[in-house]
Amino acid sequence: MNFLIGAAAGFFGGLVGLGGGVIMIPLMVGVLKMKQKMAHGTSLVALVFTGLSGAITYSLNGSVDVLAAVLLASTAIFTSRAGVRFANTLPEWKLKRYFGIFLIFVSCLLLIKPFLSQIDEPITGWLKVVVFLLTGAFTGFLSGMMGVGGGTIMVPAMVLLAGFSQYTAQGSSLLAMVPIGTVGAYTHWRLGNVNTGILPGLILGILLGSYLGGSFANLLPETLLRIIFAIILIRTGLKNLKVAKPDKQKQLQ
């Protein structure tokens, strides 16, 4: 089952160019009945390995901007720990609601992606450095808190503001995710939010699923894929938003 969850996360993530966390976490919570915090921590550990694998693949094709990845990661490694610790202070129901909001946010980005375009004059110099540092800071916190890779934020920033190609932005995002995810995953592990027993199956499944998803992506209509995936994420997000507080649950019983 662990392998299948990883494969599903990797496959659907590969189809639409998203990290597997947005699929993996709901499956771990819904199918494996894992606590939300444990699912976030376990997801982040698995995504470190897939980020490393993806970064190597992109770098072999010359599609990684190392400087951009370093700038993004330099602030994110600090905020990632803060994100993890913030998530750890939240009650289960509240973290689920926040994750639901995040899923809906990702869905909106997915739907408007075709309508976004690069600015006429990409930022350069110190402004570019500042933008990458701020983007990394925000991404790190979000990654640590939500247990996801952070490409949802980093890739659009690099494409829209810095004029990166989609491919180079994705490769640079994957490289930045390795140190970001490692710090966040380690912090989750220290707090007891990682289920190490299911990691081997998850990682193998994600690696295989990502490869298959990327291969099938060129065979299916991109618009249809994005709409279907967004609908699934929105439905899952709304379900998380409806989670009741413990006292309300007791009243219903």
Across the chain, what does the average pLDDT equal?
81
Opening angle at CA 56, ends 53 and 62, nearest 5 = 145
Q: Which is nearest to 9 in space by CA: 231, 209, 212?
A: 209
What's the average model confidence in pLDDT over 89-108? Answer: 86
Separation of alpha carbons 87 and 65, rounded Å: 31
Residue range 148-164: mean pLDDT, rounded? 80
Half-sphere exposure of 109 (CA within 13 A, CB side): 18
Reported as a single tens digit per residue, the pLDDT across 8-28 is 877 776 666 566 777 888 888
Helix 36-60 to helix 21-30 angle, to the nearest 10 degrees?
150
Closest CA to 45 of 123, 144, 112: 144
Give the pLDDT band (50/70/90) at residue 252: very low
Residue with tokens 């309300």: 248
pLDDT value of residue 122: 72
- What is the rounded average pLDDT of the residues 72-76? 93
Per-residue confidence at 251, pLDDT binned at 50, 70, 90?
very low
* CA distances to 172, 177, 183, 236 from 65, in Å: 5, 13, 21, 34
Where residue 202 falls (left for φ over 0; alpha for ψ -120 to 50; beta otherwise) is alpha
Q: Mean pLDDT, to the nearest integer, of 23-37?
A: 86
The answer to which of 187-191, 192-196, 220-224 has the lowest mean pLDDT is: 220-224
State mean pLDDT over 130-138: 91
Give the per-residue pLDDT at 218. 61
Task: Report the alpha-carbon distance of residue 13 to residue 212 in Å, rounded.
Answer: 10
